[in-house]
Chain A
Amino acid sequence: MSKLELKAINKSFGSAHIVNNLDLQINDGEFLTILGPSGCGKTTTLRMIAGFEIPNSGQVLLNSQDITNLPPYKRNVNTIFQNYALFPHLNVEENIAFGVQQMKMSKMEINKRVDEMLELVQMQAFKTRKPYEMSGGQQQRVAIARAIAPDPEILLLDEPLGALDLKLRKQMQFELKQLHKDLNKTFVYVTHDQEEALTMSDRIAVMNRGVIEQLSDSKTLYNHPETKFVAGFIGEANLIPVKIENKSSFTFEDKTFEFEHQNDNKEAVLFIRPENVSFDSETDIALTVRIEDVIFVGNHRKYKLVTASGQKIIKTEDSSLALTKIIGQSVTIYLSPNLIQIFNS
């Protein structure tokens, strides 16, 4: 049984259809990330789970109970906001206690809970500070503690690390992941940062134009994208336009290659990751290219290749390998049938 279920959700603002017939099942204790570019409907989806927006149609089920039309304060779901939204008139302790005070608890129990939370995010020393007296990272910790304190069924995180600098962001990614493990709670995380999504999530729902294009774990998403959008959005990808005649071949620059695929659209794209383009493991799919440039990028080396028709292809390799090619040289590259995919363009 899923913890949270979104069923055929539609949401529009005026004439803009933001979320389109969306279905999503989230398992108990899972770290699920909704990943997508800005305007894809990910934040709106989160807001419908939190209760800040009501869908035009469809259902939100929490533990199989319909909460679609419940106001936020009647849902046992808490949010961590991008700008933290700490109450400026309350100190750290009072901020964390805010949600707990709504529950029927004695003063002693509330204090105990607040202390537990302070310890969890290691902010005991800041108990009496006001939000404006703390750095962004410290405010973030308090926001986390405040959201967890009422012991919600689900924790919603709306780009919570967006406002932090790179180093702190990395550290908080690690801490959030650790927190998820310790609390054993369901996390629904929204971000546009693919790296954040890949490192933290159990599963990722890639969203584009109001629909989920693919829902899978990080590895599958990277190695076996299901649509052109997902292939292009996650990591670096070569997306090479090809022509399709039948389901057992494709044509590129007047050469036809044998390849079994499921696509019947005439215009399609061939997908391959830059690290999978090979100079030496020979396959039947061989292309002649010219090396336009070689760039050193720290731990790897990037080749900018160009075909006879001017199609650009990127290849990367470990920079510890000896450099045997020179700029301007003509070389043959091989694409392994196991590592390529063909998508509708």
Chain B
Amino acid sequence: MKKIRSFIISFSAFSVLWFLYFPILIIIWFSFNKESVSSFPIEHYSFDWYIKLSHNESMIQAVKISFFIAILSTIAALIIGIPSAYALHKYNYFGKNLLLKIILLPITLPGIVTGVAMLSFFPMLGIPLSLKAVLIGHTTFLIAIMITQILARFKKLDPYLEMAASDLGASPLRVFFKVILPNIKTAIIGAVLLSLVLSMDEIPITFFLISRDNTLPIEIYGMMRRGITPEVNAVATLVFLLSSAAIFMSLKFNKEN
């Protein structure tokens, strides 16, 4: 009886995994197809599409823009997120609990809501649709990621460490840099990796705020409208590998204590 139950559970689990990842495996497989038509059986394998990709100027430009946006918005989120998380952890003040709940809003709200809201709000501030707008848009939801990830680590941190450091003559600034920061380092690295990945494949907010320059997901989307080429498969494969590696490392750093 027990054996049958365990078999059913593991069968269902693997079916779900298969359902989720089979399409990705197919794409990776097709990306090595020499022919330009995606159909079985594959007769010749090659790296042709990867080579072709490396000559695609607009794609390379999109990758550059995506990296640029991801890195800058992650840095901005870090600069705002770490002190915010520290303040939320350390001090009690009026409206703190409300703030803790509102912080999660940019993640939980559908991106389309945030996107539309910013689309109508930014022009009022005199911010035109541009990469600048995209940068601000990404930063808003990355701050939420940063704060929640780092706050979780603060909660696990022994409060006596701060007291001990202060007791031994360290000023608040020194306490932060010599004791707090080294002990939340791994959480920060994890949050940074996660932020980079999330920014790199963000579509809804970007879609509303972008003007001429495309980020990578938008560029791929644009290519798809002209038909699925194996080149898209190659890009998808690369993005998949890079993202998985980053997410895997992010999880590893977050678990570490």
Q: Chain A interface (Cβ within 8 Å of chain B)?
A: 50-52, 71-73, 77-79, 81, 83, 85-89, 98-99, 102-103, 146-147, 150
Q: Are A72 and B161 in contact (CB under 8 A)?
A: no
Q: Which of B149-173 contact A (CB under 8 A)?
A: 158, 160-161, 163-172
Range of interface residues on B (Cβ < 8 Å): 10 to 19
Chain B contact residues, CB within 8 Å of chain A: 158, 160-161, 163-172, 174-175, 178-179, 182-183
Q: A81-B160, A85-B161 are in contact. Are A50 and B183 (CB under 8 A)?
A: no
Cα A246 to Cα B61 with chains together (Å): 101
Task: Using A86-B164, A102-B168, A103-B169 as known contacts, list a sample of 19 further A-B pairs with CB atoms less than 8 Å apart, ordered by residue number in A.
Answer: A50-B167, A52-B163, A52-B167, A73-B167, A73-B168, A73-B169, A73-B171, A73-B172, A77-B167, A78-B168, A81-B163, A81-B164, A85-B161, A88-B161, A98-B178, A99-B168, A102-B169, A146-B168, A147-B168
A89-B183, A99-B168 as given contacts; A72 in contact with B160, CB under 8 Å = no
Question: Once bound together, how far apart are the Cα atoms of A72 and B178, in whole Å?
Answer: 17
6 contacts between A and B (CB under 8 A): A50-B167, A73-B167, A81-B160, A81-B163, A85-B163, A102-B174
**In the complex, are the beta carbons of B165 and A83 less than 8 A apart?**
no
Contact A72 B158 (CB under 8 A): no
Shortest B27–chain A CB gap in Å is 43
Q: Which of A73, A86, A147 is B166 in contact with, Cβ under 8 Å?
A: A73
In the complex, what distance in Å separates the CA atom of A147 from the CA atom of B166? 12
Across the interface, which residues of A come within 8 angstroms of B160, CB to CB? 81, 83, 85
- In Å, the complex CA distance between A99 and B174 comes to 12
The chain B residue sitting closest to A103, CB to CB, is B169
Check B166 against A87 for contact (C-beta < 8 Å): no
CA of A73 to CA of B167 in the docked complex: distance in angstroms? 5
User: Are B161's CB and A150's CB within 8 A?
Assistant: no
Secondary structure dominating the interface of B: helix
Closest to B160 in A: A85
Q: Which residues on B sit within 8 Å (CB–CB) of A85?
A: 158, 160-161, 163-164
**How many angstroms from the CA of A146 to the CA of B164 in the assembled complex?**
10
Q: Which residue of A lies closest to B185 (CB)?
A: A89
Top 5 nearest A-B pairs (CB, nearest first) are A99-B168, A85-B160, A102-B169, A85-B164, A89-B182
Q: List the A side residues contacting B179 at CB < 8 Å.
A: 87, 89
**A146 and B166 alpha carbons, distance in the complex (Å):** 13
Q: Tell me the bound Cα distance from A89 to B170 in angstroms.
A: 16
How far is A51 from B164 in the complex, measured between Cα atoms in Å? 11
Most buried by A among B163, B167, B172: B167
- Closest CB-CB distance, B177 to chain A, in whole Å? 12
- Contact yes or no, B182 A102, CB < 8 A: no
The interface residues of chain B lying within 8 Å CB-to-CB of A147 are 167-168
- B22 shortest CB reach to chain A, Å: 43
Q: Whose C-beta in chain A lies nearest to the C-beta of B169?
A: A102
In the bound complex, residues from chain B placing their C-beta under 8 Å from that of A78 are: 167-168
Smallest Cβ-Cβ distance to A99: which chain B residue: B168
> Distance in Å from the Cβ of B90 to the closest Cβ of chain A?
13
State A256–B151 Cα separation when bound (angstroms): 69
- B165's contact among A50, A51, A98, A103, by CB below 8 Å, is which? A98
C-alpha gap A3/B158 in the complex (Å): 32
